[in-house]
Amino acid sequence: MHTVRLRARAVLAAILVSVVAAAAGGVVTAGAAVPTYQERYRPQFHFTPGEHWMNDPNGLVYYQGEYHMFYQWNPLGDVWGNISWGHAISRDLVHWTELGLAISFDDKETIFSGSVVVDKDNTSGFGTAENPPMVAIYSSAALPTFAQSQALAYSLDRGRTWTKYAGNPVLDNPDPDFRDPKVFWYEPTKRWIMPVALSLQRKIQFYSSPNLKNWTLEGEFGPQGAIAGVYEVPNLIPIAVQGSRTTETKWLLIVNINPGARGGGSAAQFFIGDFDGHRFTADPEQPFTPPSGDVLADFEGSSYGAWTVTGTAFGTGPAHGPTAGQRPIAGFQGSGFVNSRQPDDAAQGTLTSPAFAITRNHINFLVAGSDLPKLAGLPGEATINLLVGGQVVRSASGFGDEWLDWKSWDVSDLVGKSAQIQIVDRAATGHIVIDQITQADEAATSASERRDGWTGATTSMPRSPSRTFRTTATCSWGG
């Protein structure tokens, strides 16, 4: 029965793809093989389109008994390009019917990420009180530059066909990296609210509108938290505070970054705070003060002083910013730091300190950069090393991005010995960034270690053991 149901669903999906594509003037390829869900490598519980490249889910919304999922889709090929929105529906979030092309690219724009709302009270005027519209708010990436603005499309038949608004774009910005609107209804002010990313500026802006067409800037947030990657795909969600005799609500601002994850690639971070319909204010972070100690090097001078340089990777002195093509560097102290990417990742060399006596139990330092390749059993190629008697006794590398954070070596067994610090870049495609090398009685800890071992996001939530949070769904209905 399961096989029969899957095959029947696949045949229906193929028919709907053809019908909807024709109705929407779509560009789904004709004669494509009918998907059976019996393909050898096709997931059974994770949605996949019958063919071609897909990416981010967009416009997740529930309406008239159906869960709608739109997604970034190339209807013409198996790589990024011709970006449009595909569409699938489900009644149980497990079994999906693919409806094919929803909002198509054309000769003027491609369709980047966004969201969908059900305009229950027809504030937009696209529908009627009896038949309210589904409205998609998406980032229109203009061709050929991909400069982004916010645009609308609407549907009056439960998402089966879509019409682009003739007044697009409804929101523009001088900054072309302006994308990923996530729109919801805010009842206290009876306005639609749009968090949207100014990606390269590492900011989230908040706009309001009575009708989805006319938008007013209310406030902005950032740069804050992880800023090594660009800001993308924000979301703002109310969460109830659980606890005795409280009705407090906090707001969770999710900000994705790309790249910028500690392990490389994309990542998510979140901030907890308050939102009043105009501005989001994050709760204060608990500041981290590293253990005090004896500074071995802070790299604030114009040269490396008594340190010995070989090769070209480290230049003639400390860096004060990224090199050409390098992403912004964050987390350093003062204005100077070591950057082995001079002029690029191909540069190689060493930077070695004069000898010093180990007098405390820990050596702490700020480190960033990528050590590639980093294969088990092989020495690192972009590392900071502790040498005793000319031999490497401790070694560390960066976190995979340009965000400096603390690492520490326990050297309690080496107290009294003479040592040197050597920063090495032998990587053809990697580099290392170093700052603030100190000897201290205690170990400095990284941000992920201070989050009790939980990794994968940056949060400004203050430690407060008496308060826990319960997420609640946001409603995308007009008031």
- As annotated, the active-site residues are 56
CB 57 within 8 A of CB 40: no
Q: Which residues contact 41 (CB under 8 A, 6 or more apart)?
A: none
Residues 150-153: contacts with CB under 8 Å, at least 24 apart: 150/114, 150/178, 150/181, 150/194, 150/196, 150/215, 151/109, 152/124, 152/212, 152/213, 153/103
Q: Which helix (H) or strand (E) holds 8?
A: helix 2-23
Assess whether the previous peptide bond of 259 is cis (omega < 30° from 0): yes
Q: State residue 11 phi and psi, 5-degree precision.
A: -65, -45
* Other Cβ atoms closer than 10 A to 281: 14
* Other Cβ atoms closer than 10 A to 229: 23
Q: Smallest Cα–Cα separation from 337: which of 353, 314, 356, 355?
A: 314
CB 119 within 8 A of CB 127: yes
**Number of separate helices (H) and strands (E) present in the chain:** 2, 29
Assess whether the previous peptide bond of 132 is cis (omega < 30° from 0): no
The two three-digit tokens of residue 405, written as one number: 């954070």
- d(Cα 208, Cα 198) in Å, to the nearest integer? 16
Strand partners, 160: none
Strand partners, 423: 351, 384
* Other Cβ atoms closer than 10 A to 127: 19
